[in-house]
Amino acid sequence: MSFDTLGLSAELLRAVAEEGYSKPTPIQSQAIPIILEGRDVLAGAQTGTGKTAGFTLPTLQRLSAAKPTGKYRPVRALVLTPTRELAAQVAENIETYGKYLPLKSTVVFGGVSIGPQISRLRKGVDILIATPGRLLDHVSQNTVDLSRVEILILDEADRMLDMGFIRDIRKLIALLPKQRQNLLFSATFSSDIKLLADSFMRNPALIEVARRNTAAELVDQVVHPVDRNRKREMLSHLIGKHNWRQVLVFMRTKHGANRLSEQLEQDGISAAAIHGNKSQGARTKALADFKQNKVRVLVATDIAARGLDIDQLPHVVNFELPNVPEDYVHRIGRTGRAGNEGQALSLVCVDEHAFLRDIERLLKRDIAKVTLQGFEPDPSIKAEPIVLGRGGNKPGGGGNRKSHNAPARRPKAAQPRFNGQNNGNSNGSRRSPAHTGQRGR
């Protein structure tokens, strides 16, 4: 099958061809024709399989086919994403594929001044990409009108529920016209996702092109057992021995990401950290430098597990295993994308054996264990409780700290995990004005 057979316009096909794509991925070939029919869609596919183009292309087609009358351009399509990085990525896709269409789009998220966003919204846009908190800021200031939205898209919906956005999502849905097309795209399906879908979707077409929570098949996964105090040494050894030029490294906490980045610099390895406490400018620069190979290592909290699209990223390293097993799938999904092979290494100490068991249980397979010569774990070292941020399993941790002897269990996503504040996670959620003076990060 080629894109020519999906019913897309000549303008869209030209833009797709210029990006070097000729054959749609399974999620694209299944979703695009159904979306073009105007049906609601509940779609799931593992990360890196082209979900963004799967909803971007048909949305652009439908909007361009029915142009509104008058000079004013109302928001006709709304895309909600959990993080700034993912919002920016979606906006870039829309700009790329819609460059030959007379449609305007913009993106709004926190961590940056709201003024320029207001200016762009006042000029009128057809497509708005937003994080929920910042969009509610605009709603409260009457700087956006959602009364004429024709298409609602929830991207990475499972992540938005994980981050406690359910109330914000419901508030925003209540502001939209009842007659509209609804698209929900997610890397994983859960009972909570299906409950959310049932609450606002009309007989959606169900598309699932990969088994739930499967890790990318082209990713070579390996566990290296190591003592907790030798992980940094092992990481530097691996990078130097194999001359890795681009490595994405995951930590559980923001403080840990900063510390590891500084330690790698001391080892002579260029590195940058990216997490929720970094300003948007710092996050954007760190990611750009990494993509351009100006730094070899990007150290990230789970804010980067979704929404980072790094072309042909060869290596992902779990310096610390996530305490939520699904996050492991999203982390390693940053490599092995678009048919490319990738490698995911996990440096696992005795404290993390319970986390590893949960991950293998989710994957329904054992991950190969390879002990590196010179880094053999000391069997006399006993497991110690792992310190997690307040809320236990929130990406990046933060807030008051407490210890856990076993992986924290994720609360039901339908129950928001904040009461007016985001408890240290600024990946797209709202923080109290008393804390930052801004919301919708």
**pTM of the predicted protein model:** 0.67
Whole-number pLDDT of residue 116: 95
CATH topology of domain 219-388: Rossmann fold (3.40.50)
pLDDT tens track for 135-155: 999 999 999 999 999 999 999
Provide the residue ranges of all domains of the chain, joining segments of one domain with +: 3-208, 219-388
Assigned superfamily of 3-208? P-loop containing nucleotide triphosphate hydrolases (3.40.50.300)
Whole-number pLDDT of residue 391: 38
Whole-number pLDDT of residue 69: 61
Same fold, 3-208 and 219-388: yes
Can you tell me the mean pLDDT for 407-419? Answer: 37
**Cα–Cα–Cα angle for 57, 52, 171, nearest 5°?**
100
Distance CA 48, CA 330 (A): 9
pLDDT tens track for 20-74: 888 998 899 999 999 999 999 999 876 667 889 999 999 999 999 876 666 778 9
Which residue type, as a one-letter code, is found at position 309?
Answer: D
Whole-number pLDDT of residue 202: 93
Closest CA to 180 of 75, 267, 95: 75
**Residues 156/82, Cβ–Cβ less than 8 Å:** yes
Distance CA 81, CA 84 (A): 8
Can you tell me the mean pLDDT for 76-88? Answer: 92
Closest CA to 206 of 1, 413, 6, 45: 45
